[in-house]
Structure 1
Amino acid sequence: MGEALVAGLINSGSAPSAICIADKRVERLSELQNKYRVTPSTIENIATDCDAILLVVKPQDMGALIETISPTIPATTLLVTFAAGKRSAFIEERVKPGTPVIRVMPNTPTLVGKGMAAISGGTHARESDIDFVTNFLASSGEVIVLAEELQDAVTATSGSGPAYFFYFVEEMIKGAIALGLSEAAATKLTIQTITGAAAMLNESGKSPTTLRENVTSPKGTTAAALETFYQANTGEIISAALKAARDRSQELA
């Protein structure tokens, strides 16, 4: 995800040399420097080198990172957190009073320019901060601004959402193979079907309900398949899965 954000900053007009990156993995740092011509730094020094810092670490590592950099972060430096579940208040309480913080929940399709990101400003975030983050994230997908109390629901929907679709694709491929198709054929048929269906959702202007109904003939093959989903209470399972992800996001706060 960090690399996708670097690419997004460059695509939105930031000079590569003005982007400082730090990574505990020396090989990875060198790789990104060579690929994007960005400026390497250290976790200890980056706080004094930049006007905005993107915090792209696992939730459990955020506390230690903030403890390391907080002594040297000026109160005017924008901090942007990408850690699931970590509220802006978690960071605000550990840095200088008045420091602007923005919380972002992206997703992995950002890596191919099809991401979905939701951003929320903390107590001291300025409109210019929101605009800055929106601008560079928009270069790798869609962006919405939401109240922070909705971020756990966002995590459950778009943050974790790609994995739900990957799982569904996995199971469709397995099912198609069980019906006699080769793995190559099953994979191509399934992935292109998912890709085409997503394009229809984006481009047709029709609701998913309408699109589903349009392809479902009474007592036809699609109806038979959907009835299996209905009998298994698939809708309730999906709702329960989203709730579980939402609850876990709240636990990570």
Structure 2
Amino acid sequence: MEKVTLGIIGFGNMGEAIGRALNPSDFKKILVYDLDPKKLKKDRRFTKAKNSGDIINRSEVILLAIKPQNLSDFLKENKAALSFRKPLIVSILAGISTSIFEKYLKGGRIIRAMPNLPALVGEGFTFLSAGRDARRGDLEIVKRIFSKTGEVVVTEEKNMDRVTSITGSGPGYVFYFMDALYRSALNLGFPKLQARRIAIRVFLGSAKLAEASGKDFASLLKGVASPKGTTEAALKIFESQRVGYAIEKGVKGAKRRSEEISRGFKER
């Protein structure tokens, strides 16, 4: 891939996670900008930009990682420069379709991406979908960028709301369960550091086992839950409290919120 200048607008959790997963030597330069200058820590790998316009004027590829509610102002302020320069825009904004960008930017080259936070350690899972006016090769450029952050899958844009609710929000669910296990360990008298280590190793080890074995989750669960054993006792309580149902409802709620964000923006 020919080297390009990558501009990152929005250096919050996801913008920073993606930026720090990349190798600067793969690019001409990596420019970064955030409304909050405190987020732009001194790092020789990145070049601080003056503002969004500075990034637009100097970048071939722009990773847009701002908050969805700030998109309208961003597009209004930068419409002329974006329309003139026509950079490849990679949007990681939840609930914002490529058609929304195309409404503002005629002929705009848009790739929609839904990464997740483990990208920070190269263990991310990113879904990509191309906009109507993306050029041949644009998707390949973005795939190569996100391949540095973990696994990459291309899908149709109609799938992106459910993708957001599973892989995008998924790490949040896992951290929620890890925290519950951590607090349970504390309640049983384990020291804080040990309780935290237990929660991490249980989830990490179980994930690695699931991947290595190739077995379905029901089989793995059956293997650890002996009849009338301790694990079965815990699982019966989970089932009585409908924990699985609550998880399904939560995921559906995340998908519904992604759809609401999209509808709300279209109605403006």
TM-score normalised to structure 1 length: 0.91
- 1:210-229 matched pairs, under 5 angstroms: 210-229=219-238
Aligned runs of 1:79-90 on 2, under 5 Å? Answer: 79-90=89-100
Give the deviation of 1:9 after TM superposition. Answer: 4.1
Asked if structure 2 preserves the Cα contact closer than 8 Å seen for 1:20 and 1:41, the reply is no
Q: After the TM superposition, which parts of structure 1 deviate over 4 Å for at least 4 consecutive aligned residues?
A: none
Residues 236 and 6 (structure 1), Cα distance of their counterparts in 2 relative to 1, 3 Å cut: same
Residue 45 in 1 paired to residue 44 in 2?
no
Write the deviation string for residues 195-246 of structure 1: whole angstroms up to 9, x where unpaired. Answer: 1011112222222222111111111111111111111122211110000000
Query: How far apart, in 1, do the equivalents of 2:136 and 2:211 lie?
Result: 29
Measure, in 2, the Cα distance between the counterparts of 1:80 and 1:166: 27
By how many angstroms is 1:150 displaced? Answer: 1.0
Shift of 1:160: 0.9
- Is 1:20 the counterpart of 2:27? The answer is no
* 2:102 counterpart residue number: 92
Q: Go from structure 1 to structure 2 and tell me whether the alpha carbon gap of 1:90 and 1:12 turns closer, same or farther (over 3 Å shift).
A: farther
Is the 1:8–1:136 contact (alpha carbons within 8 Å) kept by the matching residues of 2? Answer: no
The reply to whether residue 55 of structure 1 matches residue 39 of structure 2 is no
Whether the 8 Å contact between 2:164 and 2:258 is mirrored in structure 1 is yes
2:52 is paired with a residue whose SS is coil
Alpha-carbon distance, 1:66 to partner: 1.5
Q: Which of residues 75, 88, 99 in structure 2 aligns to 1:78?
A: 88
The residue number in structure 2 matching 1:230 is: 239
**What is residue 23 of structure 2 aligned with on the other side?**
10
Deviation of residue 56 (structure 1)? 0.8
Distance 2:118 2:69 in 1: 23
Q: Once the 2 structures are TM-superposed, how far is the Cα of residue 38 of structure 1 from its aligned partner?
A: 3.1
Question: What residue ranges of structure 2 are gaps of 5+ in the alignment?
Answer: 1-13, 263-268
Q: CA RMSD in A?
A: 1.9
2:218 counterpart residue number: 209
Give the structure 1 partner of residue 7 of structure 2. Answer: none
- Whole-angstrom CA distance in 1 between matches of 2:70 and 2:48: 23
8 Å CA contact 2:88–2:110 kept in 1: the answer is yes
Task: Name the amino acid aligned to 1:6.
Answer: G
- Cα distance per residue 1:28-65 (max 9 Å; x no partner): 44x35x33143634212322222221111011011111
Q: In the aligned structure 2, how far is the partner of 1:119 from the partner of 1:217?
A: 41
Q: What aligned pairs does 1:69-148 form with structure 2 within 5 A after superposition?
A: 69-73=78-82, 74=84, 76-95=86-105, 97-148=106-157
1:12/1:136 contact within 8 Å kept: no
Report if aligned partners of 1:116, 1:142 keep a CA contact under 8 Å in 2: yes
Paired residue type of 1:109: P
- Cα separation, 1, equivalents of 2:204 and 2:222: 19
Q: After superposition, what is the alpha-carbon deviation per residue over 1:9-38, rounded to whole angstroms, capped at 9, x for unaligned?
A: 4368223xx333222333444x35x33143
Question: Displacement of 1:78 after TM fit?
Answer: 1.0
Normalised by the length of structure 2, the TM-score is 0.86
Distance 1:36 1:209 in 2: 45
Higher mean C-alpha deviation, range 99-108 or range 2-11:
2-11
- Give how far 1:75 is off: 6.2
Q: What is the CA deviation profile of residues 144-164 of structure 1, one whole-angstrom value per residue up to 9, with x for unaligned ones?
A: 111111111111111111111
* Equivalent AA in structure 2 for residue 23 of structure 1: D
